[in-house]
Amino acid sequence: MSGQPSSVRIVEVGPRDGLQNEKTVIPTATKIELINRLGTTGLRSIEATSFVSPRWVPQLADAAEVFAAITRLPGVSYPVLVPNEQGYERARKVGATEVAVFSAASEAFNRKNINASIDESIERFRPILDRAAADKVKVRGYVSTVLGCPYQGEVPLSDVVRVAERMHRLGCYEISLGDTIGIGTPRKAREMLRAVAAAVPMEALAVHFHDTRGQALANVLACLEEGVSVVDSAISGTGGCPYAKGATGNVATEDVVYMLQGMGITTGLDLDRLIDTGLWLSSQLGRETSSRVARASA
């Protein structure tokens, strides 16, 4: 155990991961307002949307409109997901300066999610990383199914390490390790992170937990104790991947920030504003927030 970091950077994935799984179409104006509200909370990384195929994720078909209309604040990064060069070009056309590519540790999930093997997906990323380097665009990398796969079941740790290392070598500045279906528990999460950190520097790693089985905060804590200092979360606990059977919301940003503040870890975030933003979003979605902290404050 390496103790805990003194500060943590939250990567807010609500506008992308949070909304991509919503069944009813959310108005473009609501998505824009969500990102702009999040911008007032102190967040420095707000994943804005996804330039994937609109046939695969119809909810985010308005990615270009959303990205073009948001107020981009100085010092705040607005990464967007891109699965291929076509996505990269669409993102660049509206001025994206940070993108995220995504693969998985499980072949079965990758095939369902992006219709490619792991090797094929990494080959698709190569030209994106080359172009991004020339364009001075930062590239983040996701590895999904790091603690289990909805189709293949167990995912060997060596596969997680191999994919994370390949994506880091390719030039991704940060690798986010995703428990896509929220199946992990703290000891497994810690062991997974430790194994990856032996191949990729801890400073270049982030964790991304879905809360399907109520384990996400415990998993975040285990990984903080292991030394990670970047945590992905979604406002109001929204989220899920339409191609990961049984996946539900991400760990709620409000809940992570409450825990970090209670532990004396700096986040630079305004918890009250986060709570207000999450409650506003849940009212827009017509259901109660999944954030326990927001519910307790309401």
Which residues of this chain interact with ligand HMG, rule CB under 6 A?
17, 20, 50-57, 81, 83-84, 86-87, 90, 102, 113-115, 142, 144, 178, 180, 208, 210, 241, 243
| Residue 87 contact, options ligand HMG, Mg ion, none, Cβ 5-8 Å cut-off depending on partner type | ligand HMG
179 binds Mg ion (CB under 5 A): no
| C-beta of residue 190 within 8 angstroms of C-beta of residue 223 | yes
* 147 vs 269, beta carbon nearer ligand HMG: 147
Name which of residues 8 to 37 contact Mg ion (CB under 5 A). 17
62 binds Mg ion (CB under 5 A): no
Alpha helices in 115-270 (DSSP H): 118-135, 157-170, 186-197, 216-226, 253-262
Give me the half-sphere count of Cα atoms (radius 13 Å) on the Cβ side of residue 247: 31
Rounded to whole angstroms, how far apart are CA atoms 190 and 177? Answer: 12
Least Å from the CB of residue 228 to ligand HMG: 15
Least Å from the CB of residue 255 to Mg ion: 16
| Residue 7 contact, options ligand HMG, Mg ion, none, Cβ 5-8 Å cut-off depending on partner type | none
Size of interface with Mg ion, in residues (CB under 5 A): 1
Reduced to 3 states (helix: H, G, I; strand: E, B; else coil), residue 12 is strand
Task: Tell which residue, 209, 180, 205, has the closest CA to residue 110.
Answer: 180
Least Å from the CB of residue 114 to ligand HMG: 4
- DSSP one-letter code for 98: E
* 12 vs 17, beta carbon nearer Mg ion: 17
Least Å from the CB of residue 55 to ligand HMG: 6
| Residue 67 contact, options ligand HMG, Mg ion, none, Cβ 5-8 Å cut-off depending on partner type | none
* 22 vs 276, beta carbon nearer Mg ion: 22
| Residue 113 contact, options Mg ion, ligand HMG, none, Cβ 5-8 Å cut-off depending on partner type | ligand HMG
Reduced to 3 states (helix: H, G, I; strand: E, B; else coil), residue 152 is coil
* 91 vs 224, beta carbon nearer ligand HMG: 91
Cα separation of the two ends of the chain: 36
* 34 vs 114, beta carbon nearer ligand HMG: 114
241 given a catalytic annotation: yes
For residue 149, give the amino acid letter.
C
Write the CB contacts of 236 (distance below 8 Å, at least 6 apart in sequence): 14, 18, 252, 253, 254, 277, 278, 279, 281, 282, 285, 289, 290, 291, 294
Least Å from the CB of residue 142 to Mg ion: 8
Site string for Mg ion, 241-260 (x = CB under 5 A): --------------------
47 binds Mg ion (CB under 5 A): no
| Residue 49 contact, options Mg ion, ligand HMG, none, Cβ 5-8 Å cut-off depending on partner type | none
* 17 vs 98, beta carbon nearer Mg ion: 17
Contacts 24+ apart (CB under 8 A), 260-269: 260/8, 263/4, 263/224, 265/4, 265/5, 265/6, 265/7, 265/8, 265/224, 266/6, 266/7, 266/8, 267/7, 267/8, 267/9, 267/10, 267/42, 268/7, 268/42, 268/44, 269/10, 269/41, 269/42, 269/43
Active-site residue list: 241
**Can you give the binding site for Mg ion, defined by CB under 5 A?**
17
